[in-house]
Copies of this chain bind each other. A is one copy, B any other.
């Protein structure tokens, strides 16, 4: 790989998943690979799991890590071309990205959407400009529309835990929230599950109330339902997640009762494992009884973020020119 910004950057998804599981068994086997290589992690937004798991992955590979909290330790970046920079932005992304690329062999970037202008967010203007100007391979630490390190960890978790003969039924289930959240995690999860479905690894369904349909570019081949109970029937994995509306962009539309995942809902499934990318709002998105019970995979899944990141960084290191 030359970059890791979506599933489309991955030549062979199954091999990458296997690599992650291999690294979980042998975390330090590639420690020479990262010698004298530096990973720069650039955050424009808060981060816990991604911050720590990606650092640890780099350390396991023998890399050095430098963290740049651009939102706190740096300044506001300009992305528009052709503007006279006499306002509040201090540096253009053309310079900022290029400079960071001078000191790092690989860069990670987190940049959330503003949820105000759909076209702007979905153009991934900021992210793509960073990629194009920095001059080194970029790993997405979550962009406006995708979170591929999370999705890879999710697929790794399903692959690792599924012991059935047939392929598992995986349901992405919309859940309530008090804030308007990006579509990045569900877009990305759907994109990876659709790819996994294409490869015969899973059977994939998305359930959400009307008005919360994801952009169809992220859901090729997915079964789509507005009936949560129907969707959950026979599910082996339920991936719970809130997102704001794509069609009424960034809004929290009114939604019917019954979309919080709890033990009652669980009865409709095939004793499904329950997943969530975290952070999760207890008893709003997902019941505490599930989170603290035997069906929850959320901590295990978060643990796998490390091996997903390590597999990606290993691949990028091997392809450094």
State the A residues within 8 Å of B (CB): 27-28, 36, 38, 40, 43, 46-49, 51-53, 55-56, 59-60, 64, 66, 68-70, 72-75, 78, 81-87, 90-92, 94-96, 98-100, 102-104, 178, 278-284, 288, 291-292, 298-299, 302-303, 305-306
Q: How far is A52 from B47 in the complex, measured between Cα atoms in Å? A: 20
When distances are taken between beta carbons in the complex, the residues of chain B under 8 Å from A75 are 46, 48, 279
Q: Which residue of B lies closest to A69 (CB)?
A: B73
When distances are taken between beta carbons in the complex, the residues of chain B under 8 Å from A43 are 73
When distances are taken between beta carbons in the complex, the residues of chain B under 8 Å from A48 are 68, 70, 73-75, 91, 96, 99-100
- Contacts A46-B74, A72-B72, A299-B102 known; A95 to B279 CB distance under 8 Å? yes
Q: How far is the CB of A97 from chain B (nearest CB, A)?
A: 10
Q: How far is A166 from B94 in the complex, measured between Cα atoms in Å? A: 34
Query: At the interface, is chain A mostly helix, strand, loop or mixed?
Result: mixed
- Contacts A83-B282, A288-B82 known; A306 to B102 CB distance under 8 Å? yes
Number of copies of this protein chain within its complex:
3
Q: How far is A103 from B43 in the complex, measured between Cα atoms in Å? A: 19
6 pairs of A and B residues whose beta carbons are closest in the complex = A91-B279, A102-B303, A85-B281, A99-B302, A84-B283, A52-B103
- Contacts A51-B73, A66-B55 known; A282 to B103 CB distance under 8 Å? no
